[in-house]
């Protein structure tokens, strides 16, 4: 998979903030959708605290590695999937995280069967789709085109 393409797509969908902000669930976040964890040096910092470009990039690279690892955990044949499917799944993994994406059982059945329309239908039939409609619709259209 073209990792640079994945980085670009996620950065487009997430946006980039060089300060701490609250995401749609009121959780402290910075950079390219990096949810602040207790282990992060930013933990406990106030909303609006500036974050350096280097730190944003460092967190993003770490998040990308976690996403790829989680994709391989959820789909044992992840690297054998068409690149477009890999990019879509990784984008969703970044957005949802492993615990939530692993609950997309119908989508997984569609992907496992290489039935991209079934996978797309299952993506539409989710709360995620209603929460991030523009992003989700782009990913659904891409899934249907595989």
Q: 73-129 pLDDT, tens per residue?
A: 999 999 999 999 999 999 999 999 999 999 999 999 999 999 999 999 999 999 999
Other C-beta atoms lying within 10 Å of the C-beta of residue 140: 20
CA dist., res. 117 & res. 121, Å (int):
6
pTM recorded for the entire structure: 0.93
**Could you count the other beta carbons within 10 Å of the beta carbon of residue 93?**
25
Model confidence at 24: pLDDT above 90? no
The string of pLDDT tens digits covering residues 48-67 is: 999 999 999 999 999 999 99
Contact between 131 and 139 under an 8 Å Cβ cutoff? The reply is no
Q: How confident is the model at residue 25 (pLDDT cuts 50, 70, 90)?
A: confident
Share of residues in the chain with pLDDT > 70 (%): 100
């Amino acid at each position: 998979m073209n990792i640079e393409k994945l980085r670009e797509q996620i950065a487009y969908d997430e946006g980039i903030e060089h300060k701490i902000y609250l995401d749609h669930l009121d959780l402290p976040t910075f950079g390219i959708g990096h949810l602040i964890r207790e282990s992060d040096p930013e933990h406990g910092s106030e909303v609006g605290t500036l974050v350096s470009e280097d730190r944003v990039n460092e967190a993003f690279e770490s998040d990308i590695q976690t996403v790829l690892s989680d994709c391989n955990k959820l789909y044992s044949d992840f690297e054998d999937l068409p690149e477009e499917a890999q990019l879509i799944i990784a984008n969703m993994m970044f957005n949802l995280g492993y615990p939530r994406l692993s609950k997309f059982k119908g989508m997984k059945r569609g992907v496992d069967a290489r039935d991209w329309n079934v996978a797309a239908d299952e993506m539409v039939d989710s709360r995620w789709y209603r929460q991030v409609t523009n992003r989700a619709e782009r990913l659904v259209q891409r899934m249907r085109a595989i």
